[in-house]
Structure 1
Amino acid sequence: MQFGLTEEQEMIVSTVRNFVEKEIYPHEDVVERTGEVPPEIGAAIREKCIGIGFYAANFPESVGGPGLSHLEFALVERELGRGSLALTHFFGRPQNILMACEGEQRERYLLPAVRGERMDALAMTEPDAGSDVRGMKCAARRDGGDWVVNGTKHFISGADHADFVIVFVATGEDQTPKGLKKRITAFLVDRGHPGFTIRHGYNSVSHRGYKNMVLEFDDCRLPDAQVLGAIDGGFAVMNEWLYATRITVATMCVGRARRVFDLALGYAAERRQFGQQIGKFQGVSFQIADMITEIDAADLLTLSAAARLDAGLPANREIASAKLYASEMLARVTDAAIQIHGGMGLMDDLPLARFWRDARVERIWDGTSEIQRHIIGRELLRPLGGRS
């Protein structure tokens, strides 16, 4: 097994890390204070990302993307994890589910998204459904040759800047031995389309400036041309393109943990108490040792899962393990870093309190820790007849 990076991969890491340090770090304080990303800063980040050739890094060369492998894209996301999510959002990574676009959809949605001309958002979560996608109430019914959509989505990240949204809605239901099972269809919906409203959602303690929005559909009429993939084929589209997005959460947790660790390590080496560096006390040095061990373990889990995708191997369990471990690792590492810094760790003079708050949501979105454990258990027991 190859654990080292190639020269090209090292260049990817170096390029993105330098970008984050020069173009993201300087603006983090203003985002933290105001809860907003100034439009001119967001636009500048996007243009500079396009300029270095890393925009839409998760897309193949056949549609104008850089054509990075899953492993290489994981390295990009890991370095972006070091910076404010509200700012790195403009280091564009459109939803790769757009690869399901066909015909005119490619010119209207896919290609402009890859070029950075249009931004997208993904909408699945609902107020009463949460992780239960099959329980969604937002539904579309046939009316003539169109679909009429009614319902609400919430916690929709990036919708404040989105030019269009990829939304999953119920388009029917089937009776199964386990009860009614909803059929799901994905639609492409443009901002400003009649019957479609995007409004501000809730104030979150995690990732200030990275807004979650509420989407409302009120007799929103959509033609078949707006269907992404096949009618009633939403789950097929999800399974082909979306399940690997959990790697993004894992990699960004690793990147953020490394930034936190660097701060804690530097402080342990510089801060003096009782006549010596605090890093010489076992109570601190052991915490440092545990932090780096957990970070390295999460990093290897994550890159290994990405490498399995590149090799064409099943990776659902490995991705779930990476997301579970990395997100919970980040919580422990940020907490330990604050403990090492003492009272100063909770002051606004340092970014540690921000990292601590930001870490909490990682165990919830893109599938809670409990969902990841369910996936891992299912994948292990199903071959033995223990899970359906």
Structure 2
Amino acid sequence: MDFALTDEQRMIVKTTRDFVENELFPHEAEVERTGELRKDLYEELKAKAIEAGLYAANMPEEAGGAGLDTQTWVMYERELGRANYALHWNCVARPSNILMACEGEQREKYLFPAVRGEKSDCLAMTEPGAGSDVRGMKCAAVQQGDDFVINGVKHFISHADVADFVILFAASGEENTPRGKKKLITAFLVDKGHPGFVVRYGYRNVSHRGYNNCILEFTDCRLPKSAVLGEVHKGFEVANSWLGATRLQVAATCIGRAERALEHAKQWAVDRVQFGQQIGKFQGVSFKLADMALEYKAAWLLTLEAAWKYDQGTVEDMDMAMAKLKATEMLAMVADEAIQIHGGMGVMEELPLERIWRDARIERIWEGTSEIQRHIISRALLRPLGG
């Protein structure tokens, strides 16, 4: 693994960082204050992101995306992660890679418009009674002739308020296994406004203001078989083929926010004078900075290694779980210590630290809780030994 950046990688990192600082940072205060991303601002920033070549950069070239390798992609995500989540996720969108499972007319209706910025997607798995236990979902798809009838509720569905269509996962049957009956899952593409499908605003969230979660309700929602993404009963296979790298995306954006918090903490340690000297000269502050930098570096190296393995085709679930776990828990530590170094000023809205601190909390929950990541890691360690 070569840690030297190519000229292209340096250009992508600089272009992304300049866009974040010049186009996104100026609007953070408004989004944080109002809790909303204005539609006109969203459209303006999305157009600028498309013009800058940053939109849908995660998608393969064959689909019209930038076709970044995974290492370069996590560098790009790290830069975007420094900004308010609603601004970077909605305005510099990265369509779900799962759309690469689209076939035939689905590619023209969903995949290509999502890459061009004409449509946006959201992913609907989580339910009130089924979070980490995905197979516990109750939202059901019952086949009737060539159609499927969907009934059930999804919640915590991020950015469904601005999405044009939903990638829905629903229980479509059962199979017998040595451990008993197990639900079969099918993935569907559902347009917003389709009869029987309603999107409602979700819960007020301490993290990521302006980046809303929603509740999706399906009541006798009839879908044609052409709405199936992948194969019937093969929804997990579709998800596992394309969604693994989302944990690297979470890790990378967390690392970006941690870097921003660390930058503020270092500058404050130099600028703030108490008892006649810079506070960074006190061991109580300088050792905090050393620990913050150490944890940041460890998380970034784990993420880079997992990205490199992904490109080599040797990545394992444990690699991505380690990166996600370390980065999310590191961010919580760095954000908290950055505030402690700033003292009372750290929790004031004049600085981004209180936002980074609040936003850090959700990262240890979504895309697999810290406990799920530890389960994945420990299982990988013990199974080869018969455990």
Same fold, TM-score > 0.5, yes or no: yes
For residues 109-148 of structure 1, the aligned pairs below 5 Å read 109-148=110-149
Counterpart Cα distance in 2 of 1:315 and 1:19: 33
**1:82 match:** 82
Counterpart Cα distance in 2 of 1:359 and 1:121: 21
Residues 344-384 of structure 1, C-alpha deviations (whole Å, 9 max, x = no match): 11112222111111000000000000000001111122222
Q: What is the SS of the residue equivalent to 2:128? A: coil
Q: How far 1:57 moved relative to its partner?
A: 0.8
Identity %: 63
Q: What is the SS of the residue equivalent to 2:245? A: helix
Higher mean alpha-carbon deviation, 311-320 vs 230-239, is at: 311-320
**2:167 match:** 166
Counterpart Cα distance in 2 of 1:239 and 1:339: 40
1:62 equivalent to 2:62? Answer: yes
**2:361 match:** 360
Counterpart Cα distance in 1 of 2:82 and 2:352: 11
Counterpart Cα distance in 2 of 1:53 and 1:3: 25
Q: Is residue 120–residue 164 contact of structure 2 (8 Å, CA) maintained in 1?
A: yes
**2:228 match:** 227
1:250 equivalent to 2:251? Answer: yes
Counterpart Cα distance in 1 of 2:348 and 2:65: 41
1:191 equivalent to 2:192? Answer: yes
Higher mean alpha-carbon deviation, 333-342 vs 314-323, is at: 314-323
When normalised by structure 1's length, the TM-score is 0.98
Q: What is the SS of the residue equivalent to 1:364? A: coil
Counterpart code for 1:246: R
Q: How far 1:176 moved relative to its partner?
A: 1.8
Q: How far 1:44 moved relative to its partner?
A: 1.2
CA RMSD across the alignment: 0.8
**2:380 match:** 379
Counterpart Cα distance in 2 of 1:194 and 1:268: 58
Counterpart code for 2:80: L
Counterpart Cα distance in 2 of 1:49 and 1:303: 25
Counterpart Cα distance in 2 of 1:110 and 1:148: 24
Counterpart Cα distance in 1 of 2:249 and 2:63: 21
Counterpart Cα distance in 2 of 1:203 and 1:15: 34
Counterpart code for 1:162: A
Q: What is the SS of the residue equivalent to 1:189? A: strand
Counterpart Cα distance in 1 of 2:246 and 2:349: 32
Q: How far 1:177 moved relative to its partner?
A: 2.0
Q: Is residue 306–residue 315 contact of structure 2 (8 Å, CA) maintained in 1?
A: no
Q: How far 1:27 moved relative to its partner?
A: 0.3
Counterpart Cα distance in 1 of 2:210 and 2:315: 36
**2:300 match:** 299
Q: Is residue 97–residue 243 contact of structure 2 (8 Å, CA) maintained in 1?
A: yes
For residues 202-241 of structure 1, the aligned pairs below 5 Å read 202-241=203-242
Counterpart code for 2:104: G
Counterpart Cα distance in 2 of 1:224 and 1:72: 37
Higher mean alpha-carbon deviation, 365-374 vs 135-144, is at: 135-144
1:272 equivalent to 2:273? Answer: yes
1:340 equivalent to 2:341? Answer: yes
Counterpart Cα distance in 1 of 2:254 and 2:69: 20
Q: What is the SS of the residue equivalent to 2:56? A: coil
Q: What is the SS of the residue equivalent to 1:243? A: coil
- For structure 2, list consecutive stretches of 5 or more residues without a partner in the other structure: none
**1:71 match:** 71
Counterpart Cα distance in 2 of 1:67 and 1:128: 37
**2:351 match:** 350
Counterpart code for 1:135: G
Q: How far 1:10 moved relative to its partner?
A: 1.0
Counterpart Cα distance in 2 of 1:163 and 1:83: 24
Residues 220-239 of structure 1, C-alpha deviations (whole Å, 9 max, x = no match): 00011000000000010011
Counterpart code for 2:212: K
When normalised by structure 2's length, the TM-score is 0.99
**1:50 match:** 50
Q: What is the SS of the residue equivalent to 1:266? A: helix
Q: Is residue 299–residue 326 contact of structure 2 (8 Å, CA) maintained in 1?
A: yes
For residues 11-50 of structure 1, the aligned pairs below 5 Å read 11-50=11-50
Counterpart code for 1:371: I
Counterpart Cα distance in 1 of 2:374 and 2:204: 28
Q: What is the SS of the residue equivalent to 2:114? A: helix
Counterpart Cα distance in 1 of 2:316 and 2:4: 21
Q: How far 1:63 moved relative to its partner?
A: 1.3
For residues 301-320 of structure 1, the aligned pairs below 5 Å read 301-320=302-321
Counterpart code for 1:276: Q
Q: How far 1:144 moved relative to its partner?
A: 2.3
Counterpart Cα distance in 2 of 1:260 and 1:31: 19
Counterpart Cα distance in 2 of 1:131 and 1:367: 7
Counterpart Cα distance in 2 of 1:315 and 1:173: 28
Counterpart code for 1:181: K
Q: What is the SS of the residue equivalent to 2:270? A: helix
**2:323 match:** 322
Counterpart code for 1:262: E
Q: How far 1:315 moved relative to its partner?
A: 2.6
Q: What is the SS of the residue equivalent to 1:367? A: coil
